[in-house]
Structure 1
């Protein structure tokens, strides 16, 4: 029904060419340290390229590929040590019967232990000036004491504990006095010897999802890679979005100047670490058309089908030089497949219609394109389960979804216009103008008009279709279907509730007269508009209206709180912490909001929100005490 949205060795975009180039580069520099960057936005296909590289080396006994996903080790205290330990462990697994490898691995791991202790020495708080441990140090030393003595906590005397602190202080002094550069040099030499003992001609570490990590984890991993930059025969292939890594550098080193010369410090850091960068290009029209066709055929026929296999081979040939044509054509498909199967014909037709807007709207991102196709197929499946799939045309659905995804204000206008009868006179007028430009004087005032004209020109025309089933099946994007079909005279109230605080107060009497169903409809309409606000750092228009409705119709307090909780924390401004005391009058809702406020005060992703929440909690506590 859908195509899995994860890394895959099934190459629909001819990324094999990039993977083979990486492999070729690694082979050419087999005796030298090497770092390669595979850069691209989220969903560009970086993980799939790493998988292809790994597969290309899989049958070479003297090559070891290690896959490291930094995101999976997000919670680990020392990502650097985790990466090195994983590499050493994979070398031991590669040569399980070699005593030389086992012994040399132990030596390398001792160096890693030194790194761990050196890293924590400062955090322990056993300052050489005072010798006073902090609480975490006491906890760690207490654990060590119980382990060494084989006794419970109650048996650790103050004298014994003091002795352990003194001995630990002496050990940490040795760590502090040790020469870090010498330790790093020794690590590189011992690791190079480990590769020699393991008879490994090339170590290739594939680092994935680094751009999903928190800044500290990303920098820890990059610093581990830096250790290997002078180790012969070690290669790192790093898949990451350059922008996210630069952000991590800026967050981790906030005191550095913004720039030096023509480039930023963050950019310089990345360029010194990565010797050879590959930037994945965005998909153009021809590539998008081929990709959509392959996804649709894969969905309809399956990966093992002759139709998909033969079509994929043909697509790969065309993707070698995508600038030479618009993509798959029927003549070439007929020759390659011995005819054009119905599923392939439909896929090619639909791809040709939607590819121009989809390529531009998704900015050539394969994941966004795949998600669009998956969403469309999922909606068709839902319609089938509900029993009205025979009322849906996949081409019409795709066109409606293009508006929903890339021009939501146009989608809203279309939904409102077709709410009563399924037909929209304004949409019919728009399509008439597109087909007969001389009638442009009669064009209604459509939002995003130039985009709307391009969209309306896509076949099939929508004016001849009942759009209600399509709006219904796409309504997860917005609550427009449930609200606009019956709001009618309440539209004016919704407009007032999006106004200034004074306008909202003036509408209070109208809100009080609403029946429950009417209050819920107005609430849904306002909630949809607030959800789509571009900037949440400032209070969006409509929030005061939502608060007033929930204040006067208490059954909407829990839905309002749930809506507030679902807003993205990283994008919220301080406005969200105040003004709810008189709104959340229900005890359970008030208690749940208090818990939410505490959560905002503890998080670290949004510091202004954290400060505002902390201040609000202090003010609340002060009021309760008085």
Structure 2
């Protein structure tokens, strides 16, 4: 019934081309080490590409392909050694009967153990010949000493003393005599790791690193540095699936003292390019690709992935997507040809839905496959709920999809529709009918005007249209709402109450698509007083993937539901906190400020934003917005405050 959100075994997006290109690059450089980045937004399909890559090497005995999920090891104190140990253990498991591999792996792991011991002892082994204590060494000694003497005197026993002495003795015994400093140790480790590859008798080691962009900055950087410092030797290839913007953010967070830029490229970008040599960017879906994807998802769901008809449709889609700029998006003619003239009802409905929702869904999700899939899952779930409750026949999927578009991408508009539908006796709001007519009739009138008048007759003069209801008049000022109203099906003749009921099954401030209890709780905290917002800082800082954007949009939606903005609404401090800890959202914050109704804004809107706009370009746009407030005449209080702030900045 529903669409699996895991890496798909069926390539609906023709990502096989990307995977094949990466495989060719790896095979053409068997001797030299290489790091390849498969980049894309959260949900863009990186893991699916990596799974295809893994499958391409599955039958090659001379290439050993290992999978490492960085997110699995989030929270480990020393991520570098965890990465190394995991890869060495995977090598050993891949050659379980080889004594040579076992001995070489043991040698490498022994050196890793020494690295951990040296770290615990403050790095003594790295500078034993210098006789100079570093700050880290002093801290290591201090931690060991305070841990020992923290016990009350009467509890210090002979066993305690022996334990401390034993740890020190183990450290001295395990420390390799031929490496007294860090560079020599790294060199020796790399040599022993190459010997392990020789023992495994392989031409290449390919390590796939997935979900790195879900890790906290410390773990992400430690994983990349472990690869580059210790494992980057001949005959190795590392393929790293991550959103490069998230990794750049991790670099900035991990190295906060880096200057902002080095010429036209930031230091964070330079660092990333040093660690990842060859980047592949998975492109966002365009309009035609989105339409193809929606049709294939729903067709696969209806027919099954092994159905001959679906396989024929998939083959037609792949042929169509070879040249996306020429794609017709799996139109009805292409589908009928692929299915030999017989289109099942579910596939026919998939064509209708994809034709109707593609444009807004493509723009709203920015061509993100996972967000598209979640939208369709939510739609099918709600239709299933309607079936179970006994009113499934009253809910048409194309109408439901259109209502959900409003719910997902314009929550305030949806809330108005829901309220009007609930209050209308037949569930058909007059304001919506008038709004749709106002949007659609100009096109119909233009068609009529193009028709020639009958010989000897004159075209009738149309009366001036009646004034629109207040809600419809406000909607006419919004381009998104007008675009939404123009798409089929028109809703004027539909009782919207069943749709409102089934879409309001979860009164979630996160729009009902990606809500999670921990995010709901966090949103509630960020809507609270300043002290509560400050207390939620750690939770906000740990948000990953799309979560910061979801939380931001949830708070934004609640704030915009307020009737008055004269004083600072609840939630503004929360928005500020989210943007401060996730600067990628600063332009979203600027868009939010532009949405505020100028006649109703108080002076707080001019000066509340502190360090929310670190990006010079966005900061400049904010100053332009403030200048616009200073020049408007609808709000004297806002005008005076904006003028004062602008004057202060000029001075």
Same fold (TM over 0.5): yes
2:556 maps to which residue?
Answer: 534
Is structure 2 residue 468 aligned with structure 1 residue 463?
Answer: no
Runs of 5+ in structure 2 lacking a partner?
125-132, 446-463, 510-526, 528-550, 582-651
Query: Counterparts in 2 of 1:540-619, with a 5 A limit?
Result: 571=578
Of residues 414, 425, 448, the one that matches 2:430 is 425
2:254 maps to which residue?
Answer: 252
State the aligned residue count. Answer: 500
Q: Is the 8 A contact 1:38 1:237 kept in 2?
A: yes
2:585 maps to which residue?
Answer: none
Is structure 2 residue 26 aligned with structure 1 residue 26?
Answer: yes
1:611 maps to which residue?
Answer: none
Q: Is the 8 A contact 2:39 2:282 kept in 1?
A: yes
Q: Alpha-carbon deviations, 1:396-439, whole Å to 9, x = none? A: 00000111111112212212222222111111111111221267
Q: Is the 8 A contact 1:410 1:446 kept in 2?
A: no
1:236 maps to which residue?
Answer: 238
Q: Distance in 2 between matches of 1:429 and 1:359?
A: 27
Is structure 2 residue 397 aligned with structure 1 residue 369?
Answer: no
Single out whichever of 260-269 and 46-55 deviates more from structure 2: 260-269
What is the CA-CA distance between 1:572 and the residue it aligns to? Answer: 9.4
Of residues 504, 508, 516, the one that matches 1:475 is 504
What is the CA-CA distance between 1:325 and the residue it aligns to? Answer: 2.5
Q: Using a 3 Å threshold, how does the CA distance of structure 1 residues 405 and 132 change in structure 2: closer, same or farther?
A: closer
Q: TM-score, normalised by structure 1?
A: 0.72
Query: Counterparts in 2 of 1:185-196, with a 5 A limit?
Result: 185-196=187-198
Report SS of the residue matched to 2:556. Answer: coil
Q: Alpha-carbon deviations, 1:345-390, whole Å to 9, x = none? A: 1111210111011111111000110000000000001111111111
Q: Alpha-carbon deviations, 1:51-110, whole Å to 9, x = none? A: 000011101111111111111110222222122122212222222222111111111112
Report SS of the residue matched to 1:317. Answer: helix
Report SS of the residue matched to 1:263. Answer: coil
Report SS of the residue matched to 1:533. Answer: helix
Q: Using a 3 Å threshold, how does the CA distance of structure 1 residues 175 and 363 change in structure 2: closer, same or farther?
A: farther
1:613 maps to which residue?
Answer: none
Of residues 382, 386, 396, the one that matches 2:385 is 382
Q: Using a 3 Å threshold, how does the CA distance of structure 1 residues 249 and 360 change in structure 2: closer, same or farther?
A: same
Report SS of the residue matched to 2:474. Answer: coil
1:226 maps to which residue?
Answer: 228
Q: Alpha-carbon deviations, 1:176-231, whole Å to 9, x = none? A: 98221111111112211211221111111110110100111101100111025751
Q: Using a 3 Å threshold, how does the CA distance of structure 1 residues 358 and 79 change in structure 2: closer, same or farther?
A: same
Single out whichever of 80-89 and 275-284 deviates more from structure 2: 80-89
Q: Alpha-carbon deviations, 1:442-485, whole Å to 9, x = none? A: 443234621111111111110100001111111146579xxxxx
1:445 maps to which residue?
Answer: 473
Of residues 382, 393, 397, the one that matches 1:394 is 397
1:403 maps to which residue?
Answer: 406
Q: Is the 8 A contact 1:33 1:233 kept in 2?
A: yes
Q: Alpha-carbon deviations, 1:532-560, whole Å to 9, x = none? A: 43299x9996999xxxxxxxxxxxxxxxx
Q: TM-score, normalised by structure 2?
A: 0.70
What is the CA-CA distance between 1:568 and the residue it aligns to? Answer: 9.8
Q: Using a 3 Å threshold, how does the CA distance of structure 1 residues 530 and 365 change in structure 2: closer, same or farther?
A: closer
1:47 maps to which residue?
Answer: 47
1:547 maps to which residue?
Answer: none
Q: Using a 3 Å threshold, how does the CA distance of structure 1 residues 570 and 237 change in structure 2: closer, same or farther?
A: farther
Q: Distance in 2 between matches of 1:542 and 1:428?
A: 25
2:81 maps to which residue?
Answer: 81
Q: Distance in 1 between matches of 2:65 and 2:473?
A: 59
What is the CA-CA distance between 1:341 and the residue it aligns to? Answer: 2.1
Q: Distance in 1 between matches of 2:180 and 2:576?
A: 44
Q: Using a 3 Å threshold, how does the CA distance of structure 1 residues 29 and 132 change in structure 2: closer, same or farther?
A: closer
Report SS of the residue matched to 2:48. Answer: helix
Q: Is the 8 A contact 1:70 1:213 kept in 2?
A: yes
Q: Using a 3 Å threshold, how does the CA distance of structure 1 residues 535 and 136 change in structure 2: closer, same or farther?
A: farther
Runs of 5+ in structure 1 lacking a partner?
143-152, 481-497, 499-528, 545-562, 575-626
Report SS of the residue matched to 1:38. Answer: strand
Q: CA RMSD in A?
A: 3.8
Q: Distance in 1 between matches of 2:250 and 2:350?
A: 42
What is the CA-CA distance between 1:336 and the residue it aligns to? Answer: 1.9
Is structure 2 residue 92 aligned with structure 1 residue 70?
Answer: no
Q: Distance in 2 between matches of 1:129 and 1:307?
A: 68
2:300 maps to which residue?
Answer: 298
Report SS of the residue matched to 1:237. Answer: strand
